[in-house]
C-alpha cells in the first residue's frame, strides 16, 4: 500500500510504480465489490489488465452474489458487447444475466479475457459454484490453442503456467471436471489441487487426450485408483507427481493403479511422492498390490512413500 501515494506524485513515477500495483490482484471477501471493480477497470483500461501476472481469488462461502452496485448502465453495456463478440458456443444471454447478478463464476470467466499476461491463478473454492462459465471459457481457449486458431492475442492464456485450487468450507469437494480445462492449457506447468473428489459420471471425451503439465500435486484426494489411472494416462510429460490419498471411504483405491497410470512416463518422471498406506486405505488381496516396478524410470531421482507401497506389505522387513 505504500506504493499507492507514489503513483500520484508524478507521471514518471506513475509509469514505474503503476504496473507494480497491479502485478498481483488478491480478491477481498470483506469487499464484495473488489472483483467486479477490477473487471470494470481492465475493460476500460486494457493496459492495466495487461500488467496483471497473478490472480488470487476467493469464492464466496454463501450464495450471495458479488456487489455490482457500482456498475453503471454503460459498464453492463461493455460486458454485453464483449460477450456477444466472442466466437464461442455458450449461452451468452445466461452469461450476461449471471454477471448482472454478480455470480462469482461468471465474473471471473469474463476477467480471463482481459488478463493476457496472466501467469498464475490461485482459487480458494467454497464448493458452491459448478464453474460453468469459467470451465467452458478455459476449455474453449485450450482447444483453440491446440488447433492453432487462437481467439485473440489478448486473451489466449499463452503465459499461464500455474494453477492452484484449494477447497475450503463444508460444501462438496473439487470435482475432476473442474480441473481438466486448466490441465489442457498448453503453457500450463504446475497444477496444485487440494480436496479432489470422486466423480463416477465424469466424461473425458470433451477434453484433450494429452496434457503437458510437468508438475502435478494432489492432496487429500478421495478419487479411486481406476479413475486416477485413466486421469494420469493423459499427462505425457509429467516430471513431478505428488499424491496424497486422504480418504479411507473408497474401498477400491489401490496404489497399483497409480503405477499403471504412470507407466508411460518412464522417460520423464523425476520425482514421485505417494502418501496413504495400503493398511490405512484398504485391506484385502487386491489392495495389497504395490505400486509396481520403477526400474525403467531412468530419470527418477526422488521417491517419497511408505515401504509397503513400493514392495507390498508382506515383502519388506520393518
How does pLDDT run across 227-279, given as a tens digit for each residue? 889 999 999 999 999 999 876 554 456 788 899 999 999 999 999 999 875 55
Would you call 117 exposed, middle or buried from its count of C-beta atoms within 10 A (0-12, 13-18, 19+)? Answer: middle
Q: Is the pLDDT of residue 176 over 90?
A: no
Q: Retrieve residue 236's grid coordinates.
A: 505425457
Q: What is the pLDDT of residue 22?
A: 79
Query: In this predicted model, which residue has the larger pLDDT, 276 or 19?
Result: 276
Q: What is the pLDDT of residue 153?
A: 45
Percent of the chain whose pLDDT exceeds 70? 80
Let me know: does 183 contact 175? Beta carbons within 8 Å.
Answer: no
Which run of H or E residues covers position 5? helix 4-7
- Match 454463501 to its residue by C-alpha cell: 62
Q: How far apart are CA 197 and CA 258, in angstroms?
A: 16
Query: In this predicted model, which residue has the larger pLDDT, 211 or 209?
Result: 211
Nearest to 178 by CA among 158, 201, 196: 196
Q: What is the pLDDT of residue 12?
A: 59
Q: Retrieve residue 33's grid coordinates.
A: 465489490
Q: Retrieve residue 316's grid coordinates.
A: 519388506
Q: What is the pLDDT of residue 286?
A: 40
Q: What is the pLDDT of residue 13?
A: 52
How does pLDDT run across 50-69, given as a tens digit for each residue? 999 999 999 887 767 899 99
Q: How far apart are CA 29 and CA 21, in angstroms?
A: 19
Query: In this predicted model, which residue has the larger pLDDT, 93 or 225?
Result: 93
How does pLDDT run across 76-102, given as a tens digit for each residue? 999 999 998 887 888 889 999 999 999
Q: What is the pLDDT of residue 50?
A: 92
Query: In this predicted model, which residue has the larger pLDDT, 224 or 273?
Result: 273
Nearest to 226 by CA among 204, 209, 206, 207: 204
Let me know: does 193 contact 179? Beta carbons within 8 Å.
Answer: yes
Alpha helix (H) ranges present in 8-162? 11-21, 34-44, 46-49, 73-85, 92-100, 104-111, 132-146
Q: What is the pLDDT of residue 132?
A: 87
Q: How far apart are CA 234 and CA 229, in angstroms?
A: 9
Tell me the HSE value of 276 on the side-chain side, using a 13 A CA sphere. 28
Q: What is the pLDDT of residue 125?
A: 87
How does pLDDT run across 288-318, given as a tens digit for each residue? 577 888 888 999 999 998 877 887 766 554 4
pTM comes to 0.86
Which string of b and e fits 149-173 if b means at least 16 CB within 10 Å?
eebeeebbbeebbbbbbebeeeeeb
Q: How far apart are CA 197 and CA 176, in angstroms?
A: 7
**Top-ranked range on mean pLDDT: pick from 18-22, 133-137, 262-266, 312-316:** 262-266
Beta-carbon contacts of 230 under 8 Å, excluding residues fewer than 6 positions away, are 204, 261
How does pLDDT run across 149-171, given as a tens digit for each residue? 544 444 568 899 999 999 876 65
The single-letter DSSP state of residue 30 is: T
Q: Is the pLDDT of residue 7 over 70?
A: no
Domain boundaries, the chain: 4-311
Amino acid at each position: 500500500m505504500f506504493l499507492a501515494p507514489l503513483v500520484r506524485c508524478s507521471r514518471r513515477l506513475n509509469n514505474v510504480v503503476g504496473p507494480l500495483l497491479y502485478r498481483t490482484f488478491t480478491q477481498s471477501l470483506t469487499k464484495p465489490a473488489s472483483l467486479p471493480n477490477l473487471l470494470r477497470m481492465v475493460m476500460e483500461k486494457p493496459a492495466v489488465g495487461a500488467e496483471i501476472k497473478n490472480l488470487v481469488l476467493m469464492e464466496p462461502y454463501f450464495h450471495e452474489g458479488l456487489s455490482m452496485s457500482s456498475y453503471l448502465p454503460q459498464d453492463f453495456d461493455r460486458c454485453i458487447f464483449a460477450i456477444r463478440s466472442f466466437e464461442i458456443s455458450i449461452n451468452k444471454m445466461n452469461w450476461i444475466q449471471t454477471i448482472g447478478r454478480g455470480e462469482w463464476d461468471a465474473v471471473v470467466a469474463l476477467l480471463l479475457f482481459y488478463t493476457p499476461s496472466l501467469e498464475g491463478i490461485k482459487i480458494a473454492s467454497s464448493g458452491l459454484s459448478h464453474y460453468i462459465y469459467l470451465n467452458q471459457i478455459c476449455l474453449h481457449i485450450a482447444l483453440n490453442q491446440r488447433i492453432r486458431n487462437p481467439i485473440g492475442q489478448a486473451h489466449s492464456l499463452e503465459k499461464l503456467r500455474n494453477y492452484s485450487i484449494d477447497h475450503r468450507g463444508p460444501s462438496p469437494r473439487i470435482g475432476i471436471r473442474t480441473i481438466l480445462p486448466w490441465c489442457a492449457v498448453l503453457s500450463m506447468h504446475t497444477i496444485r489441487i487440494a480436496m479432489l473428489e470422486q466423480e463416477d459420471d465424469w466424461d473425458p471425451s470433451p477434453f484433450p487426450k494429452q496434457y503437458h503439465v510437468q508438475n502435478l500435486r494432489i492432496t487429500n484426494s478421495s478419487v479411486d485408483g481406476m479413475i486416477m489411472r485413466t486421469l494420469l494416462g493423459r499427462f505425457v510429460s509429467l516430471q513431478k507427481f505428488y499424491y496424497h490419498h486422504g480418504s479411507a471411504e473408497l474401498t477400491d483405491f489401490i496404489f497399483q493403479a497409480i503405477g499403471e497410470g504412470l507407466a508411460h512416463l518412464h522417460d520423464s518422471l523425476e520425482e514421485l511422492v505417494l502418501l496413504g498406506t495400503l493398511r490405512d486405505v484398504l485391506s484385502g488381496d487386491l489392495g495389497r498390490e504395490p505400486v509396481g516396478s520403477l526400474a525403467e524410470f531412468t530419470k527418477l531421482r526422488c521417491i517419497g512413500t511408505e515401504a509397503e507401497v513400493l514392495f507390498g506389505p508382506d515383502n519388506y522387513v520393518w
